[in-house]
């Protein structure tokens, strides 16, 4: 069974990629298994300056998922380039994805310029769910004019492939995706977390300090599948699908919807062996379903 797939000119041994924010900087997982079995790794979201993140509590459990408002805690891009990536390179020998976040367009551009010089980085994953502090706090990914400007300016400062990670918290995901394509994006990642909350019955207050946070886990998979399906049919961009992936069956389903590769998120927090299990089970499921080459099924459910 051939599990190899391609993202543009980059080849992966399989489509399994731990999602940003659920796998640290990768090397933390070597105590569980050989992480070189992974297709790639999406690194923890990185900003220009170091960030502590949001006040505690940041996590709330819920049925079929979880809510988080970690707030992009990270050591800043210089520490990522000088400390975290060298540590990862000692134990992981493939290219990785750098997840870039910012509060202004200038923040994104500065991060992109610095990551551009790093050979370990194959793709820049641009998190556009961040609020633009210069324009009233509206997320970049919710305003097509801001999004177009951001992508065009990023294309001018980096040679890396730009994959835009889209928020599902919009009225028309297809329109947003088309804007990314027009602006010159090389690919898309979808979906980021939905917006949710939990309330403590004893205190009668929201559990999370920020009141609301990103809802992820198996409950959001139908939404993710629907959006990947729609965007695959509306654009010509490769898609990395994510949202509720827990097992090999979920991977096949996401690829049939149009994803070329798949990110595994919350499952890593529940079971540190999640990605290893999926990679081991994938060829077995492919054989059961009569799939010889995994890349052949991309968008299979979209055929009329």
38 and 280 Cβ atoms separated by less than 8 Å? no
- Structure confidence at residue 132 (pLDDT): 57
Structure tokens at 296: 């052949």
pTM recorded for the entire structure: 0.96
Q: For 296, how many CA atoms within 13 A lie in the half-sphere containing its CB?
A: 9
Strands of the chain (E only): list them: 5-7, 10-12, 16-18, 59-62, 65-68, 96-100, 121-127, 161-165, 187-190, 194-196, 199-200, 205-206, 213-216, 239-242, 261-264
- Structure confidence at residue 33 (pLDDT): 98
Please write the tens of the pLDDT for every residue from 81-94: 999 999 999 999 99
- Structure confidence at residue 129 (pLDDT): 84
Residues in Cβ contact with 119 at an 8 Å cutoff, skipping those fewer than 6 apart: none
Q: What is the CA radius of gyration of the chain?
A: 18
Q: For residue 239, which of 284, 292, 302 has the smallest C-alpha distance?
A: 302
Q: What parts of the chain have a pLDDT lower than 50? A: none
- The CATH number of the domain holding residue 59 is 3.20.20.70
Give me the DSSP letters along 213-264.
Answer: EEEESGGGHHHHHHHHHHHHHH--S-EEEESS--SHHHHHHHHHHT-SEEEE
Cα–Cα distance between 79 and 97 in angstroms, integer? Answer: 16
Q: For residue 146, which of 129, 165, 132 has the smallest C-alpha distance?
A: 132
59 and 217 Cβ atoms separated by less than 8 Å? no
Sheet holding 59-62, edge to edge: 59-62, 65-68, 213-216, 194-196
- Structure confidence at residue 268 (pLDDT): 97
Say whether the peptide bond before residue 303 is cis (omega within 30 degrees of 0): no
Please write the tens of the pLDDT for every residue from 239-293: 999 999 999 999 999 999 999 999 999 999 999 999 999 999 999 999 999 999 9
Q: For residue 28, which of 39, 18, 13 has the smallest C-alpha distance?
A: 18
> How many structural domains are present in the chain?
1
Q: Which domain does 128 fall in, by range? A: 5-302
The residues annotated as belonging to the active site are: 130
Structure letter (DSSP) for residue 23: S
- Structure confidence at residue 141 (pLDDT): 86
């Amino acid at each position: 069974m051939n599990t190899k797939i391609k993202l543009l000119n980059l080849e992966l041994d399989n489509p399994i990629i731990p999602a940003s924010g659920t796998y640290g900087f990768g090397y933390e997982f070597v105590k569980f298994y050989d992480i070189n079995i992974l297709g790639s790794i999406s690194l923890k979201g990185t900003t220009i300056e170091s960030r502590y993140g949001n006040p505690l509590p940041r996590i709330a459990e819920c049925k079929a998922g979880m809510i988080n408002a970690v707030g992009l805690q990270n050591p800043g891009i210089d520490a990522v380039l000088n400390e975290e990536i060298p540590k990862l390179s000692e134990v992981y020998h493939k290219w990785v994805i750098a997840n870039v976040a910012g509060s202004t367009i200038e923040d994104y551009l500065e991060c992109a310029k610095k990551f551009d010089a790093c050979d370990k980085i194959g793709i820049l994953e641009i998190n556009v769910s961040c609020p633009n502090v210069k324009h009233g706090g509206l997320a970049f990914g919710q305003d097509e004019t801001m999004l177009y400007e951001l992508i065009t300016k990023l294309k001018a400062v980096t040679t890396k492939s730009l994959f835009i990670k889209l928020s599902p918290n919009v009225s028309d995901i297809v329109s947003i995706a088309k804007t990314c394509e027009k602006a010159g994006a090389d690919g898309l990642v979808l979906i980021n977390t939905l917006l949710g909350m939990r309330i403590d019955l004893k205190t009668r207050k929201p559990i999370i300090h920020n009141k609301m946070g990103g809802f992820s886990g198996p409950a959001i998979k139908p939404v993710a599948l629907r959006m990947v399906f729609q965007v695959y049919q509306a654009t010509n961009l490769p898609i990395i699908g994510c949202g509720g992936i827990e097992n090999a069956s979920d991977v096949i389903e996401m690829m049939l919807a149009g994803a070329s590769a798949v990110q595994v998120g919350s499952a890593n927090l529940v079971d540190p062996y999640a990605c290893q299990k999926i990679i081991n089970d994938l060829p077995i499921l492919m054989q059961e379903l009569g799939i010889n080459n995994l890349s052949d099924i991309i968008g299979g459910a979209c055929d009329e």
